[in-house]
A and B are shown apart, each in its own frame.
Chain A
Amino acid sequence: MGRTIVEKIWADHVVHRGDSGEPDLLYVDLHLVHEVSSPQAFDGLRSAGRPVRRPDLTLATMDHNVPTDPLMVRGEVPHDDPASVEQIEALRRNCRDFGVPLFPMGSLNQGIVHVIGPELGLSQPGMVIVCGDSHTSTHGALGALAFGIGTSEVEHVLATQTLPQRPPRTMAVEIVGTRAAGTTAKDLILRILNVIGVDGGRDHVVEYRGQAIGDLSMEERMTVCNMTIEGGARAGVIAPDETTFAYLEGRPYAPVGEAWQAALSQWRQLASDPDATFARTVQIDASSVAPYVTWGTTPAQSVPITAVVPDPANAPDEMTADQWRRALEYQGLRPGMAMTDVHVDKVFIGSCTNARLTDLRAAAEVIRGRRLAEGVTALVVPGSGSVKRAAEAEGLHRIFEEAGFQWREPGCSMCLGMNPDVVQPGERCASTSNRNFEGRQGPRSRTHLVSPAMAAAAAIHGRFVDVRDDVEA
């Protein structure tokens, strides 16, 4: 019987097949570590007297709580949050004590953990990749089985390089047709989430399939796989193809010479077999995708920019109606309001969803030669030091700065409200990040998730606009 890509990767990584009700023991090829979910795991190792089993398969960076203000990163202005400094220092100490490679704040390759893995060529097809962060699903774009774990599991992987896991079911999300002009990978994933809901993928791994997926660039695939977790699936995967191989070839950690050929011949076997069976299949028409904006407080609560804020009276059930009412109250919106009448105070272009070079290019394209709307504050935060330098080499930073945007150092920044970059209480933010939960960007912050081009257009107009109509005369 045919196997799915997930079943193939699984079979390649089973160290011990679980018998008598035990889970399988799965080998981990790459363990990414950051400052927030790791200190308690390292302390656990210390108190049990355990070493890190494979420091050579472990890479740490600092991203969640680091400041992105260049003066603060360079130490010219003090980082005045002692708890953050302590957490950053703890990672430095833990990496030193346990021999784990680290890209610290201010180093050339530091960046958001899910940006640096692929860009260094460390995330490769057929691997099992974990990190104490739910957006680890990003790396599935390269054909890896990649998922987020908790701190106890971080400790487990540090100690044993394995994880006890039950085999997941695979849900196929098939995108038929071709994507409409003027829409992005972000709009596609927001549409997918809108269809399957925030728990539609629970207990499954999602495999994205179909022509419109094959047509995506690697960075676009990362945006799609990144937000898979917002649909409840721990991992999203796309079968590796020529786009994947071309992306990987020549990257610092990609195999070379004979090793490249050996890898390639294995990677070409990974795609799901034609007769593989999926636990569930969802079909979505790519031509139904428009620029999307979230209106509520879950990533599935979204509408096309041409639509109005929905009415709880039309919710599918009473619990959902309650949830919508609460979301509208929190967001300060009324049913029936046009999304294009919603004004913004802040704009954030960044995060592991949309802080890669092509994202910054798309935003820069919209704002070239224009100015921020009065009263709007806008941040552009590259996903890594490498993205930042590449963007600067193209002059993108000048386009942003001339438009009045702040050009920052790499980090998670305004995505999650645990570093100096926050949305103030009651403020509304157009954000290219992944979560619009209550308080996500700071206490009482109001978040609307959009693509980089839509965020850029919102910054110029001070409200949401349809970026497809936003052509300079």
Chain B
Amino acid sequence: MRPLDRVASRVCPIDAIDVDTDQILPSRFLKRIQRSGFGPFAFYAWRYDESGEPRPEFPMNRPEHRGARILVSGRNFGCGSSREHAPWALQDAGFDVLIAPSFADIFRANCANIGVLTIELDEGTAAQLFEQVGRDPAWELVADLRTQTLTGDGFDVDFQVDPHVRHRLLDGLDPIDLTERHEDDIAAFERGRPAWRPTIHSVPTRVEPTRRKLHP
């Protein structure tokens, strides 16, 4: 994972609440078996019309928001499907920092796992950001994970972030490497698991006749 500490850029505003991951990346684009290349499909239905032409009014298509690495949206951003393809798509489209009053649980975890910083601000402060960007689309914001601050001309706020996530993002640490340090604990736990917990040693080729009916 690429380390992330400070991002300075323009801000792309997505002024909606409960933005679900089907909007961020529609399901028909989930068929790629690679991690990369989802950026062109981010917000596809909002970004392009039925003939595939960019909708000029959508923020990602507006020249003044091009190159933005920070996205701000309304509460409960990333709700719905657990598809990690959604944060992959945003990251691939250039966004390293997402700001909203709240994020859906699974989405937030997915972002942390791929090196995208999610910042929660209270509704009032988020509204100020929207106003600021509305007044001056070229306005620059600096998100600093080390100092946990968001600063821009006329804007200066602190933000909270899970200390473990902060540590992992700053150092670009792989969670699997971290867990593997606990190999002895995992092995000890496995020795103590109840023997009656199910294991799948063989796949029954036909389950119905061997036991009581499956559908009483």
Interface residues in B100-115 by Cβ distance below 8 A to A read: 102, 104-106, 109-110, 113-114
A9-38 interface (Cβ within 8 A of B)? 15-16, 18, 21-23, 25, 27, 29-30, 36-37
Q: Return B212 CB to nearest CB of chain A, in Å.
A: 3
| Interface size of B as a range | 35 or more
- Of B3-11, B13-21, B89-97, B141-149, which binds chain A? B13-21
Binary contact readout B173-186 vs A (1 if CB under 8 angstroms, 0 otherwise)? 00110111010011
Bound: A12/B113 CA distance, A: 25
Q: Mark B74-98, 1 if CB is under 8 A from A, else 0.
A: 1110011111110100000000000
Which residues of A128-152 have CB atoms within 8 Å of chain B's CB atoms?
A: 132-134, 147-152
User: Are B196 and A149 in contact, with the CB atoms below 8 A?
Assistant: no
For residue A361, give the distance in angstroms from its CB to the closest CB of chain B: 10
Q: Is the CB of A323 within 8 A of B17?
A: yes
Q: Is B204 an interface residue (CB 8 A)?
A: yes
Q: Is A121 an interface residue (CB 8 A)?
A: yes
> Is B153 an interface position by the 8 A CB rule?
no
Contact of B26 among A27, A87, A259, A439 (CB under 8 A): A439
Q: How far is the CA of A108 from the CA of B210 in the complex (A)?
A: 14
| Bound Cα distance from A134 to B50, whole angstroms | 29
Is A332 on the interface with B (CB-CB < 8 A)? no
B45 an interface residue at 8 Å Cβ cutoff?
yes
> Which single member of B87, B175, B194 contacts A156 (CB below 8 Å)?
B175
| Chain B binding surface, main DSSP class | loop
Could you say which residues of chain A place their CB within 8 Å of the CB of B79?
198-199, 232
Residue of B nearest to A56 (CB): B199
For B186, give its contact among A15, A134, A438 (CB under 8 Å): A15
> Cβ of B23 < 8 Å from any Cβ of A?
yes
Q: Is there contact, CB below 8 Å, between A156 and B200?
A: no
- Asked if A15 meets B215 with Cβ closer than 8 Å, knowing A48-B176, A263-B196, the reply is no
- The yes or no answer to B135 lying at the interface (CB within 8 A) is no
Bitwise, B202-216 to A at CB < 8 A (1) or not (0) is 111111101111110
In the complex, residue of chain A having the shortest beta-carbon distance to the beta carbon of B111: A150
CB contacts (< 8 Å) of A417 on chain B: these are 26-28
Q: How far is A442 from B27 in the complex, measured between Cα atoms in Å?
A: 9
Residues in B whose Cβ lies below 8 Å from that of A98: none
Q: Which of A90, A119, A122, A416 is close to B33, meaning CB atoms less than 8 Å apart?
A: A90
A164 touches B179 (CB 8 A): yes
**A202 with B76, Cβ < 8 A, contacts A40-B35, A425-B50 known:** yes
Contacts of A102 in B (CB 8 A): 203
Say whether B196 contacts A259, CB under 8 Å. Answer: yes
Asked if B205 and A108 make an inter-chain contact with CB atoms under 8 angstroms apart, the answer reads yes
Bound-complex Cα distance A290 to B38 (A): 42
Assess the A133–B82 pair: CB atoms within 8 A. Answer: yes
Q: Once the chains bind, are B110 and A150 in contact (CB under 8 Å)?
A: yes
Neighbouring A residues of B200 by C-beta, 8 Å: 55-59, 101, 122, 253
Residues B139-173 near A (CB distance < 8 A) = 162-164, 167
Do B106 and A440 touch (CB < 8 A)? no
Cβ-based interface call for B63 (8 A): no
Q: Are A25 and B201 in contact (CB under 8 A)?
A: no
Residues of A near B179 (CB, < 8 A) are 25, 156, 159-160, 162, 164
Contacting residues, chain B, for A254 (C-beta < 8 A): 198
With an 8 A cutoff between CB atoms, is A39 at the interface? yes
Partner of A234, one of B106, B163, B213, B215: B106
In the complex, which residue of chain B has the Cβ closest to the Cβ of A168?
B105
| Nearest CB of chain A from residue B130's CB, rounded to whole Å | 11
Chain A 52-67 interface residues, beta-carbon cutoff 8 Å to B: 55-59, 64-65
15 A-B residue contacts at CB 8 Å?
A15-B182, A40-B34, A101-B200, A102-B203, A124-B197, A124-B198, A153-B110, A255-B196, A387-B215, A417-B28, A418-B31, A425-B50, A437-B20, A437-B23, A438-B45
